[in-house]
Amino acid sequence: MKPKIVILGCGFAGFGAFYSLAKKLKDKAELTVIDSSVFSLSKPILPEVAFGERALNEALIPIGSTIEKFNHKFIRKEVKLIKPQVNQVILTDDTIVDYDYLLISVGAVKDYDAIEGFNEYGYSICDYTQALRFLDRRATSIGKKIVIGAALTKWGSASTVKTLAAPCEGPIGEIMFMLDYYLRKHNRRHETSITVFTPGKIFFEDVGEKVHKDMEPIIKKSNINVVTNKVLKRIDKEYIEFEDSTKLECDMAIIIPPYKGPQFLIDSNLTDEAGFIPTDKYMRHINYGNIFAAGDINASSMPKLGHIAVRQSYTAASVIISEITQKNVIVPFKPEILCIMNRGENATLILSDWMYGGNRDLTLSGKIPKFMKMGFDAYYFYSHGKMPPRLSEEYLSKFLEKCCNK
Ligand SMILES: Cc1cc2nc3c(=O)[nH]c(=O)nc-3n(C[C@H](O)[C@H](O)[C@H](O)COP(=O)(O)OP(=O)(O)OC[C@H]3O[C@@H](n4cnc5c(N)ncnc54)[C@H](O)[C@@H]3O)c2cc1C
């Protein structure tokens, strides 16, 4: 009997693990991918969807046809429970899927409801419904006092790395720069203020001094006001209020909501208090040897970033491959932050492992990172969820260290 490997959730981590397993195991295992959606959503494109620069379908990758092309199985259903003692996944229609190995990569839940007033007055770009709402609003009136920021996320106790007040501030950076560019292009910047708030002690809490030093003049030149240590309490029609009782006048609030784990994983007793999955450094669940977790759902994925999700999925997949083939091919997990912020005409790339004790902490701004982002987005989309070859990542890293690490 071939071992049965089940992947729950087909985002960055699910695709990353699927391609590694399919390539290395070929027909030595049965792979089943389960996702509640027919499409995998590439979230890095959402800010561009929100600004009307790209159509939503450029962010949607079909899952079923991609998986089936490799002669593996796709089930389009929502998972409602996992029974780890008997190696079973239960779907919402009560179908039971048995597994020998389980990789959980269902991402995090964006908890908009936790913010008082969000449903009436708040905007976001974290999923496609929100990105399209933003696009609609932008078409009519974007407002004169715009506030952008992340709500505080309360993490559980299972993270093995430093936790951050906000799950990921890259999208905040991208939205503020794209907004600045959009308003300048339409000759309306002079009548609009942009204020960014963070619940952290510092904006971009996950990178070091060098990146902050590089970003400061860019933020200043864009005339963006940044306020720190602000924990969002509620959004009203004309202002937002923080836990310290201060308020900011605002006629449009764009928010990254708190993240939490999904209820079905809490019900399955696989998570910490906040719903995230505790694993060891090989992404293996601390209590179940045949369960792995990669991506935003992993308690130690910090910040919640696609690049980290993919790296974790490679490690998890390599451990499963090693066990099945009895060959030691384990890929160690090396965390680093790699992201590119679209700034309209230009972009800024950030590469940093400062948060994990490393010494890389650099930026590259201009047209080159803008083309790199366009290149990555197109590669990921047209290859149906594949990452660029790992060698190109290594070359990029070396190139950046050489030209930016002065
Ligand atoms: C606006 C925005 C911009 C971003 N930009 C960048 C960027 O430029 N670079 C970067 O590296 N990161 C970026 N990120 C972060 C990145 O998108 C996430 O870290 C990444 O998507 C996490 O991947 P994942 O595979 O863990 O989860 P996801 O991509 O969230 O995928 C989870 C999958 O699981 C499925 N699923 C969930 N629950 C169930 C269930 N019960 N049953 C069945 N299926 C289920 C979902 O349908 C989904 O397909 C951005 C995030 C946002 C919100």
**What are the sequence ranges of the domains in the chain?**
4-109+260-325
What is the predicted pLDDT for the residue at 396? Answer: 81
Q: What is the pLDDT of residue 392?
A: 77
232 bridge partner residues: 242
Distance CA 393, CA 186 (A): 37
**CA 305 to ligand 1 center in whole angstroms:** 8
Question: CATH homologous superfamily of domain 4-109+260-325?
Answer: FAD/NAD(P)-binding domain (3.50.50.60)
pLDDT at 390: 75
Residue 60: both structure tokens together: 């949607």
How much is the pTM? Answer: 0.96
Find where tokens 């899927």 sit. Answer: 97
Instruction: Answer positive or negative: Cα dihedral of 114, 115, 117, 122.
Output: negative
Amino acid at 278: P
Q: What CA–CA distances, in Å, run from 368 to 363, 364, 389, 396?
A: 12, 8, 19, 12
Angstrom distance (rounded) from CA 174 to CA 180: 10
Complete DSSP assignment for 380-401:
HHHTTSPPPPHHHHHHHHHHHH
Check residue 139 and give its pLDDT. 79
Q: Distance from the CA of 239 to the center of ligand 1, in angstroms?
A: 30
Closest CA to 103 of 79, 71, 139: 79
| pLDDT value, residue 366 | 96
Determine the pLDDT at residue 406.
56
Q: What is the pLDDT of residue 307?
A: 96
What span, in angstroms and rounded, lies between the C-alpha atoms of 148 and 197? 6
- Atom index in ligand 1 nearest the CA of residue 131 equals 1
Helix (H, G, I), strand (E, B) or coil at 103: strand
* Ligand 1, pocket-test mutation among 296, 302, 338, most atoms within 8 A of CB: 296
Q: Report which protein residue has its CA nearest ligand 1's atom 17.
A: 43
pLDDT for the residue numbered 401: 79
Q: pLDDT tens string for the chain (406 positions)?
A: 899 999 999 999 999 999 999 999 999 999 999 999 999 999 999 999 999 999 999 999 999 999 999 999 999 999 999 999 999 999 999 999 999 999 999 999 999 999 999 999 999 999 999 999 999 988 778 889 999 999 999 999 999 888 999 999 999 999 999 999 999 999 999 999 999 999 999 999 999 999 999 999 999 999 999 999 999 999 999 999 999 999 999 999 999 999 999 999 999 999 999 999 999 999 999 999 999 999 999 999 999 999 999 999 999 999 999 999 999 899 999 999 999 999 999 999 999 999 999 999 999 999 999 999 999 999 999 999 999 987 777 778 777 877 775 5
Cβ 219 under 6 angstroms from ligand 1: no
Structure tokens at 23: 């390539």
β-pairing, 224-227 with 193-197?
Answer: parallel
For residues 362 and 211, is the Cβ–Cβ distance under 8 A? yes
Residue listed under structure tokens 């409602």: 80
Largest CA distance in the chain: 68
Ligand 1 within 6 A of CB of 9: yes
Confidence at residue 405, expressed as pLDDT on a 0 to 100 scale? 59
**The pLDDT value given to residue 160:** 87
Burial of 93 (0-12, 13-18, 19+ CB in 10 A): exposed
Rounded to the nearest angstrom, the distance between the alpha carbon of 237 and the centre of ligand 1 is 30
| CA separation for the pair 149, 197 (Å, rounded) | 5
Closest ligand 1 atom, residue 107 Cα:
27
SS3 104: strand
> Are the CB atoms for 23 and 313 separated by under 8 Å?
no
Q: Can you give the three-state secondary structure of 261-296, one letter per residue?
A: CCHHHHHCCCCCCCCCECECCCCEECCCCCEEECCC
Strands of the 361-366 sheet, one edge to the other = 337-342, 347-352, 361-366
What separation in Å is there between the alpha carbon of 20 and the centre of ligand 1? Answer: 18
Assess whether the C-beta atom of 78 lies below 6 angstroms from ligand 1.
yes
* Ligand 1, atom nearest to 306 Cα: 11
